Copies of this chain bind each other. A is one copy, B any other.
Amino acid sequence: MGIDILKSKLKEHGKRITPQRIVVYNTLKESTIHPNAEELHQEIIKKHPNISLATVYQILNLFEDELRIVKSISTNHIKHYDIRSEFHIHTICPKCGEIEDIYSDKIKLFWENLIEELRLKPEDQIIKIYQVCSACSKKKEI
């Protein structure tokens, strides 16, 4: 399924199909968090110990800038990656930095109305809501 999409995107852009690119793609697809390059690399080397961190960085840049199959969300100075293509927004906890997705037809509708109203032609968008996550709000403040 997904791998075929990757393969056709690679061909379309004159890029080669390599095991490293497939592993990065699959690991991102399977990830439940929004990993940064380091976390993604850690996950990958559990099964493929030979893939270097630099390669992961290079592949993520390829996926983001040329193939446009991932988006990055920066928190502090670290890029976190998201391979979900469906329209959604992110909540970010200002305390622990956890990123969550929110999918909602209402948000999508809101957004479509908005860009029409403003006559915008966005290539992409990032909508981040800073909101203390449930785990952090349970912790007592000192």
Interface residues of A (CB under 8 A from B): 74, 77, 79, 91, 94, 102, 104, 106-107, 110, 113-115, 117-118, 120-132
- Which residues from chain B contact A107 at a C-beta distance below 8 Å? 114, 117-118
In the complex, are the beta carbons of B122 and A106 less than 8 A apart? no
Residues of chain B with a CB closer than 8 A to A117's CB: 104, 106-107
Q: Which residues of B contact A79 (CB under 8 A)?
A: 77
Q: Are the C-beta atoms of B125 and A128 separated by less than 8 Å?
A: yes
The count of identical subunits is: 2
B130 and A127 form a contact (CB under 8 A): no
A118 cross-chain contacts in B, Cβ below 8 A: 102, 104, 106-107
Check A131 against B120 for contact (C-beta < 8 Å).
yes
Contacts known (A74-B74, A77-B77, A127-B127); A114 close to B122, Cβ less than 8 A: no
CA distance A100 to B117 in the complex (A): 17
Residue of B nearest to A126 (CB): B128
Chain B residue at minimum C-beta to C-beta distance from A78: B77
Known: A102-B118, A107-B118, A110-B113. 4 other contacts (CB 8 A): A77-B79, A122-B130, A122-B131, A126-B130
Please pick, from B91, B115, B122, the residue contacting A120 in the complex, using a CB distance under 8 A.
Answer: B91
Q: Counting chain B CB atoms within 10 Å of each CB, which of A79, A91, A106, A114 scores highest?
A: A114
